[in-house]
Structures are given as structure tokens and as C-alpha cells.
A and B are shown apart, each in its own frame.
Chain A
Amino acid sequence: MDRSAGFRACAKQKIPMPAATKQPVINDIASQQFGADPIAYSFMSKPGLSERVVKEISHYKNEPEWMRAQRLRALKIFDSKPMPTWGADLSDIDFQSIYYYLRPTDKVAKTWDDVPDSIRKTYDRLGIPQAERKYLAGVMAQYESEAVYHSLKSQLEKLGVIFLDMDTALKKHPDIVKKYFGTVIPAGDNKLAALNSAVWSGGSFVYVPSGVRVEIPLQAYFRINAERAGQFERTLIVAEEGSYVHYVEGCTAPIYTANSLHAAVVEIIVKKGARVRYTTVQNWSKNVYNLVTKRTYVYEEGTMEWVDGNFGSKVTMKYPSVYLLGKGAKGDVLSLAFAGAGQHQDAGGKAIHGAPYTSSKIVSKSVSKESGRTSYRGMVFIPHGMKGCKSTVICDALLLDEHSRSDTYPTMDIRESDTQITHEATVGKIGENQLFYLMSRGLSQAEAMSMVVSGFIEPIAKEIPLEYAVEMNRLIEMEMEGSVG
């Protein structure tokens, strides 16, 4: 079952938006081909992946033929590609035990009692309102917002900004979607991107017209009443020349899902002089494989900033990338990962300098405790002839005890001499003297440890919207209490 809420309903940021879309009229579609009974979508509603499943998803969504064909091509690519073995251990993923699509009507299928204690406790500590907890835990099909948010919607419409879930965008703006979908991350990019391309559902579509600055961050939460994003979200952001937008996805509250795979794709196009910031704070439940492909094409004088915080999940593999394709383009990747017992956070960033005088900065901070493992995996590529490029890579790891582990896999492929490259890497432990100092001032050991950790991640935390940063600190405190016992 799809038990994921996908996105955090932020308690502190009550700006809900009405459902942007109506559910498709399933009976009508179904009756054309499968007879009157909607249950005829028999493959789609069972676990497992096949051509038939993909066809049913596309048919159910009443998609244009090109999208259906693209999905089927992607499935072939998925089938033909081996699992990546260069990173985290993915050998336990069983693709045939996963549900690839769930109709909204299928979604409510369990009770509050099914939600694990640890998750309920975290909701308590983070102070998530009851109704929202049920939504997050997947007990409730929809999160009922208490207010209807008209002003944002009309404001955006006035500016010509499109902000919809991807399924609706495909129906309402097929031309723009078709023009850009899969151009930054084609299905052939990697096995998980191929899977997403075959079975994607939900995610966001954002289009910002030329010269428009969207002053308030667009939060996925705004469209939480729309079709719920699930395991295979597909997000596409197009920022036309000179525009600006900040998109925020995520949630510090753990997102509980019994389905163990999250394979999302995020494509962003930053045109000349535009700037996009994309902030993620994710806390998947600890059974989830979180395998996400995120990439931006940045054109002349454009700026892309990825801010990516990863808590939770069993395994995360995520390396937000910037392809700097025009003179003066800039790309930053700030990545934060926290790995507790049994978790492996394999994160980092990539910068491909495809034009001269481009600059990139990758900052990675990771914290591991107990048997938790973090890896920094990054790449900077500057081909010959790309003069005047600058790149800075900083990766710092903090180990909280002798059982935790951190590795660094930096790749620097620099083929041009007229460049400025810096790379710093540190691995540190919380020092006995630091703890003693803090405790001598009245802080308990857990408080002392969380203060050191908060300080360590501060350079990235300060880039995250305040309400998320505050919750992130509370999460860290909880993790520390757990580790001190």
C-alpha cells in the first residue's frame, strides 16, 4: 500500500491550498476498455512490475500517447540495466514486491494502531497536530486543511507562475511538460531514473515566466490536497530568464511507509540569469531505500542552489547535480546527512563545468552514530578549454562513537589548467574535552552531544527555512537521547 504522505504538512506553516485537480473519473475510462468495473485495473493494484502495470497506470491517468510510449521505453531501459553496485548495498530490494501505483481510493487501508511506536513518539516530540500525524502516517487519505488558501493561488496565477502536481500539469500544460520532461534526466541515465520514468506519479511542476520573482518559497505542502505524491514522484522546475523561485519539499517528521522504495526524479532548468533554490528536508522511515536523481541545467549567469538534508531511510543515495552550461553559471550543493544505527547515507553532489567561467561549490556535512554509515560521493568535472572555472569542495564528517563510519569518495576530473580548485575534507569525533566542557556548564551528556552536532551542521542548517531548522534540531536532540540511553 502507498502509506507515504510524500510531503510534510508543516504545522507552523499553515498555508494550504485547495486541491488543484479532480480525481480522474475512473469509471468512464475503465468502461471503455476494461468494462464497467474499475477493479479491472488488476495488475496495477497488485505488487510487481510489468509492461501491463505501466500501461494500466498510463491508461488510468488518461495520459497522452507520447507519455505512455515514453513510460514503456523507460521500462525496457530499466529491465536492461543492471543494479548499480558502486555505492550503497541495494541487493535486498525486491522490485516485484512493490506497489507501483495506488489509486486514491486504495489508500486508506490501515489504522493508527499499525503505526510503529517509535514514529508515534517522534510525532509527539515534534508536536505534530493529530490530524496531520494521521496524514503523515498514511492513516488518513487526505489532510484536511482548516483554511482554504486562495491568495497564494491567485497571486501566482497573476504572475503567470504554474505550480501544479505533475499529473495535472501534464493535462493542463502538455506542451510545456512535453518540451522539458526527461530532457535533463533521461530514462537512460540510470536504472532508478528509468524506473521512475516508467511508473512516476505525482511530484510538482513549477514554471516561472521570464523576469518573475516568486518571493515566498513554494512548498510542496501547498498542494497537499492534490494527488498524494508517493514513492515515484517526478518534479520539473523551469525558471525562465531572469526569474527566481525557492522550492521547498520535505518534512522533518518521519514519513511512514510500508512500501520500501522511494525513487524520485527532480529535473530543473535554470535559464539565463535565473536563480533557483531547491530545499529538501527528508526523514523517511528506517525501512526505506531512498534513491533519488536530482539534476539542474544552469545556463549563462544562472544560479542553482541545492540544499539537501537527509535524515531517516535505510539507505539514501542522492547526489544533486549542477550542469553549468553557460558562461558565468553558478551551482551550489549543500548536503547534510545523518546516519543512525543500521542506516547508510550515501550523499554528496556533482558539478559538471560545461562552459568557461563557471563556478561550483559543494559542501557536505555528515554525522554518524552507532553503526550508522555516511559516505560523501562527489564529482567535479572541468573539461579541457573551460577556462576560468572555480570549484570548491568541502566535506566534513563527524563520528559520534567508535561504531560509526564515514567514507569519502571524491572524484576530481580537471582537464584545464586555468582553473581554481579547492578541496578540503575532515573527519572528526566529538572530543572528550568538548563534552566535559559543556557538561561542566550544566548540560547533560545528550544535550552536550546535540549541541556539538548542531554546531557542526550549522553552516548548512542556517540555509534551511527556520521552521524546518528548528525541527531538525529537535530531531537531533532525540537521536542523542537515544544514543546516550
Chain B
Amino acid sequence: MKELSVDNLHVAIDGNEILKGLSLVVKPGEVHALMGPNGSGKSTLASTLMGHPRYEITEGSVNLGGEDIASLSPDKRAKAGLFLSFQYPAELSGVSLQNFLRTAYNNVKRPSGNPIPVLEFRRMLLENMKKLGMDEKFAGRSVNEGFSGGEKKRAEIVQLAVLDPTIAILDETDSGLDVDALKAVAQGIEALRGPSLGIVLITHYSRILKYIEPDFVHIMVNGKIIASGKADLAHQIEEKGYEGMGNR
């Protein structure tokens, strides 16, 4: 089992410590919801796990399938089976979603050469886009350029589906979505759920959890996980708020 194991993680940006000893184990097949208020360090955790160069690990470890990935560049982590769905995905002018994702696919899934035939890839892409309710024309459009918030998030989940990782971190995938978009994206994620994929669902609100029942819920405050439990923990947040949880 290729599990993600984060142990006593301390992370600083420009000398300021944001994560202060965070531990988490995610196995393929599990869905973990990571909830917390703004500024608790959720996005820092997401970026750090994927290897953003600005985030410095000062203590602790990150392992994927028993391999220490903390010193790997983001592309190597992707090849090791990690995926990050961005809260604010970058725009790539002049690069079509299809070309971008095919290049990514060949890097991640066919590292030893033997690239996927263009038409075969296009079929796979369009199939996944259809599931997310994305019009075909997006395949030929520049990545995320001029996409609405909902379209960007759908495109992230399409990428998740195509790249088929072992562990996916979804950073506030539900933020900025209207009800319909939220439902479509959540159903897309739910459809990918299965024994070979572990998911870390980072969210501020519990509303996405109406569509995706997590196996575990963790409450993160001030750079640490302060409470972990089953799905019902999310409901307590709804009632008491994060402050209430801090008093436990």
C-alpha cells in the first residue's frame, strides 16, 4: 500500500513558522477531510506536500509509499503518485488544455517513453470532461485562461481523473463555486473514489461533505491537527464552529 505519511511536519515561509508539528497518514482508498479556519495552514500544507520551493520544511518528514519525498522537486513527486488540485490554478496562455495534459500524462504515466497516441489521449480526455460536464471546446482552449471559477475547478478534477494518482490533495476545491458547480465537482470527485486513490479534501466549509462522505475528518487550527474523528466530527464543526473545537 502506497500511503502518504506526514510526521511532525514543521514548515516556515520566510522564517515564519506556519505548520507546527502536523502528522497525518492517508492510505489509498481513504478520504480524509481536513478542515480549518482561514490562516490555519491548510493551503501551506497542500503546497508543501507538492513541493513548492518557497515553503521550507524545518522539521519532520513526508513519505509516500515509504520513500522520503521531502527533498524531491514537484515533478518527481507527481511521478511518485501525488496530485494537487489547486485553489487558484495558474493560467497558461497559448497552451491548450489538451497539449498540456497530454504532456503531463506522458511524464507521469509513461516516464520510460512510449507516449500515448494523440487520438487515444483525446478520447480519454473528452470522456473525462464529459463526466465533469465540461464542453469539448475547453480541450483546445488555453489552460485556465478566461475560465470561470467553476470551469477551473472542473478542469482540475479532469486532470486528477486523467493523471490517476495514488494520493490527491484537493485544496479548497469547493471554494468560489455556486451550488450547481459544487455538485458537479463533488460528484466528479466521488466518482473517482476507489481503492487505489487516497484523497485529502481540504475545505473551510462542510458543505462539500454533503456530497462526499469522508472516512476521516481532521480539524486543523494554528498549524496543527487538534482533533480527528469520523464524518460526524464535521457536523460538530457546523454546530460549534472552530473556536468551539479549540476548547476540547
The reply to whether A439 and B103 form a contact with Cβ atoms under 8 Å apart is: no
Q: How many A-B residue pairs have CB under 8 A?
A: 85
- Interface of chain A: mostly helix, strand, loop or mixed: helix
Kindly provide the distance from the CB of B116 to the nearest chain A CB, expressed in whole angstroms.
Answer: 13
The reply to whether B78 and A451 form a contact with Cβ atoms under 8 Å apart is: no
Kindly provide the distance from the CB of B230 to the nearest chain A CB, expressed in whole angstroms.
Answer: 30
- A287 close to chain B: CB less than 8 A: no
A447 to B95, CA, bound (A): 13
The reply to whether B90 and A451 form a contact with Cβ atoms under 8 Å apart is: no
The reply to whether B75 and A455 form a contact with Cβ atoms under 8 Å apart is: no
Convert B58-102 into 0s and 1s, putting 1 for each residue whose CB lies closer than 8 angstroms to a CB of A. Answer: 000000000000000111011100011010111111110000110
Contact residues, A114-160 vs B (CB, 8 A): none
With a cutoff of 8 Å between Cβ atoms, the chain B residues found around residue A433 in the complex are 88, 90
By a beta-carbon cutoff of 8 Å, the part of chain A in contact with chain B is 431-434, 436-445, 447-448, 451-452, 454-459
A415 to B53, CA, bound (A): 52
Kindly provide the distance from the CB of B185 to the nearest chain A CB, expressed in whole angstroms.
Answer: 18
The reply to whether B108 and A455 form a contact with Cβ atoms under 8 Å apart is: no
With a cutoff of 8 Å between Cβ atoms, the chain B residues found around residue A458 in the complex are 93-95
A438 to B103, CA, bound (A): 10
The reply to whether A457 and B74 form a contact with Cβ atoms under 8 Å apart is: no
Interface size on B, residues (CB 8 A): 32
12 pairs, A vs B, C-beta closer than 8 Å: A432-B54, A436-B47, A437-B86, A437-B89, A440-B77, A441-B107, A442-B79, A442-B104, A444-B75, A451-B95, A455-B95, A459-B94
Kindly provide the distance from the CB of B154 to the nearest chain A CB, expressed in whole angstroms.
Answer: 16
- B234 close to chain A: CB less than 8 A: no
The 8 closest A-B pairs by CB, nearest first: A455-B94, A458-B94, A442-B107, A441-B104, A437-B90, A439-B74, A455-B95, A442-B108
The reply to whether B78 and A455 form a contact with Cβ atoms under 8 Å apart is: no
The reply to whether B108 and A441 form a contact with Cβ atoms under 8 Å apart is: yes
Closest to A436 in B: B52
A452 to B108, CA, bound (A): 19
A457 to B95, CA, bound (A): 10
A454 to B142, CA, bound (A): 12
Contact residues, B174-203 vs A (CB, 8 A): none
The reply to whether B107 and A447 form a contact with Cβ atoms under 8 Å apart is: yes
Known contacts A433-B90, A436-B52; A442/B75 CB under 8 A: yes
